[in-house]
Chains A and B, each alone.
Chain A
């Protein structure tokens, strides 16, 4: 993959979207599951199970991600606590980019998602590695 493709795919705006909204691969998959079926209302438990049929993604772990989606205006909440995807003009393009990259360049996408998190704090911890890895 060339640098040029990286610049186009992972624009600053898209990276900002990832950094603020998609904290992990699980978060990305939850968001995409919501996006694929915008007419369906999910409980968080159902959503987590849909991502991970084995059941290793706990509802408690999925909840903060969904809360973040709510804070960004990406979901609408129903009275019984269920959520549904809400297309927002701000982020719709980014979610589509996310969906495309998830299919076309998943490895790079996951690497970028994790690299964007808490970089300064990780650098602080890495400073205490005496021998450079």
Chain B
């Protein structure tokens, strides 16, 4: 069960990191700013997922990194909303 949890949380982190890479690669190829800001959003989501991984699996009781996660999530959401409102035609 523990291994399954590690797998799932790790998969979530890797997925968001993968999305980040795909989006910045797409931005490098197309120079469409929507992709840059969406990529930046996923940078923060990735940070969020990695910190979540640490917070729940690596160090579940020692620290509570909740505020850091909130900050990352809000930064990511701000980037995404900026992208969708101003750069999505």
Contacts and interface: CB of A to CB of B under 8 A. Distances in A.
Direct contact, A vs B (beta carbon within 8 Å): yes
Interface of A: 118-121, 123-124, 126-128, 130
B87 interface: yes
Nearest to A118: B89
Interface string B48-78: 0000000000000000000000000000000
A118 B38 CA distance: 16
B25 A120 contact: no
Contacts of B89: 118-121
Q: How large is the interface on B (under 10, 10 to 19, 20 to 34, 35 or more residues)?
A: 10 to 19
A123 B32 contact: yes
Contacts of B26: 123-124, 126-128
Q: 10 closest pairs, A vs B, by CB?
A: A127-B26, A123-B32, A120-B34, A123-B30, A120-B89, A120-B32, A127-B22, A127-B23, A128-B22, A124-B34
A64 B74 CA distance: 37
A130 B30 contact: no
